[in-house]
Amino acid sequence: MSRPPIDRTGNPLLSVEKLKVHFPIRSGAFGRASGHVYAVDGVTFDLWPGETLGLVGESGCGKSTTGRAILRLLEPTAGSVAFDGQDVRALDRAGLRALRRRAQIVFQDPFGSLNPRMSVGAMLEEALTVHRLHESNRRGRVIELLERVGLREEHLDRYPHEFSGGQRQRLGIARALSVEPDFLILDEPVSALDVSVQAQVVNLLDDLQGDLGLTYLFIAHDLSLVEHVSDRVAVMYLGRIVELADAEDLYRGPRHPYTKALLSAVPRPDPIGREQRERIVLSGDVPSPSDPPSGCLFHPRCPHPKKDERCTSVYPITEGSSDGHLVACPHADS
């Protein structure tokens, strides 16, 4: 999928720096914190207007928690989030309402995120009422939204259970668009859908981005999908970003051992068997985020032949090259 170049000479729309989300583990009669789950532990990235940043990694690495913390659906423990120059963590209730008009989220489970007791028309109109939008013709705006996502006026009086999974996800997208946002967090938006329906929804999201100038944070575990929808890709492991680069550069030349292992499992079309690819199988299980290893979080499973004592004692500094390819590994290929 070809995309116009992103202008990164100005200020980013979203700037996340050293973001942390730690959940206390409570025990005992008084519920005192006996430890923490380090769900997100120092995530940093910028996102420019019109860009799509893919956020990938194994289940439980902190991708969805990062997305929710950006909008303060979960309160960050530490770090900063700036949206269009505003400090998100400092916003009061009125400021959060204004932020959530400009920044919306589309959830993985379309059925669970829609109110089963509200008709489609009432659901979309509710968002317009809350934000006092299109007061003179809200019904017309709702019909326009439905048509924008590939549904019809006759769907207005139906309820979520009367739609297919793909249609429900279109409703979730329509609800997010109803308040005319600049930025969407897409949290596994197609993972619950059939492959053919996934393609339709992804094409819809691409069209919307082109027509409305939207900026996306695309959270997913399907690396083959992320390759086609993203301008840049960030790879997460145990709450931290271990590699970040332009999508083409990362898929063509991954530098972190974890990224290499993930990409080695991505199916590639090769009908006549010309391509010889080595499958990298990681040993052991993902460590618990409540008891992460010392040093590099990946070192217990890392297959790199030059792994040494630095890997077990010091977390590697994220270093970048002249092409903007960032990687947190002292032995990373350059």
Q: Which is nearest to 96 in space by CA: 111, 86, 106, 85?
A: 86
Residues 122, 59: Cα–Cα separation, whole Å? 35
Residue 52 identity: T
Give the model's pLDDT for residue 1: 46
Q: Which is nearest to 13 in space by CA: 58, 38, 45, 37?
A: 45
- Which residue in this structure is represented by tokens 């990694």? 57
Give the model's pLDDT for residue 204: 95
Domain ranges of the chain: 14-269+278-327
Residue 237 host element (H or E): strand 232-237
Give the model's pLDDT for residue 172: 92
Give the model's pLDDT for residue 133: 87
Backbone φ and ψ for 300, nearest 5 degrees, come out as: -65, -20
Tell me the pLDDT of the chain (334 aa) as tens digits.
Answer: 455 678 888 899 999 999 999 999 988 777 788 889 999 999 999 999 999 999 999 888 999 999 999 999 999 999 999 999 999 999 999 999 999 999 999 998 877 778 889 999 999 999 889 888 888 889 999 999 999 999 999 999 999 899 998 999 999 999 999 999 999 999 999 887 888 899 999 999 999 999 999 999 999 988 989 998 999 999 999 999 999 999 999 999 999 999 999 998 887 665 555 556 678 878 888 899 999 999 999 999 998 888 888 899 888 888 766 678 999 998 887 5
Radius of gyration over every alpha carbon of the chain, rounded to an integer in angstroms: 21
Interstrand relation of 319-320 and 326-327 (parallel, antiparallel or unpaired): antiparallel
Tally of CB atoms within 10 A around 75: 9
**Strands of the 14-27 sheet, one edge to the other:** 32-47, 14-27, 78-83, 86-87
Residues 181, 212: Cα–Cα separation, whole Å? 9
Residues 74, 61: Cα–Cα separation, whole Å? 16
Q: What is residue 252's DSSP assignment?
A: H
Residues 14-269+278-327: name the CATH superfamily: P-loop containing nucleotide triphosphate hydrolases (3.40.50.300)
Residues 165, 270: Cα–Cα separation, whole Å? 31
Q: Is 72 exposed, middle or buried (0-12, 13-18, 19+ CB in 10 A)?
A: middle
